[in-house]
Amino acid sequence: AQSVTQLGSHVSVSEGALVLLRCNYSSSVPPYLFWYVQYPNQGLQLLLKYTSAATLVKGINDFEAEFKKSETSFHLTKPSAHMSDAAEYFCAVRNTGNQFYFGTGTSLTVIP
């Protein structure tokens, strides 16, 4: 079965600092991986996705993630945090049966 694990349910960074949100996947086949962002009382928006092309994936708002097969990881990074980045972030994996499974989420706080 495929799944994702997000380490750290809460992350705090200072404005302008590096953002690093961790995601590890468990999959018996090459996975399709996604990062989503959720603002309060809203649905989820796609930040970026890995679909077995380039291992370094660039997304919206300067976010990027690197697929590392040897570490079974797909961590999300952003060089410089903005106040507007404060939100809940979810890592997800898609299996070949059309199901998408999400991690438990990481709440990002940006300190001014």
- ∠ CA 53-107-26, nearest 5°, is 40
Is residue 52 a contact point for other proteins (CB under 8 A)?
yes
3-state secondary structure of 61: helix
Work out how close the CB of 16 gets to other proteins at its nearest, in angstroms, rounded to a whole number: 28
Interaction between residue 25 and other proteins (CB under 8 A): no
Cα dihedral: 11, 16, 17, 22 (round 10): 50
Residue 92 lies near other proteins (rule: CB under 8 A)? yes
Binding site residues, other proteins, CB under 8 A: 32, 34, 36, 41-46, 49, 51-52, 90, 92, 94, 96, 98-105
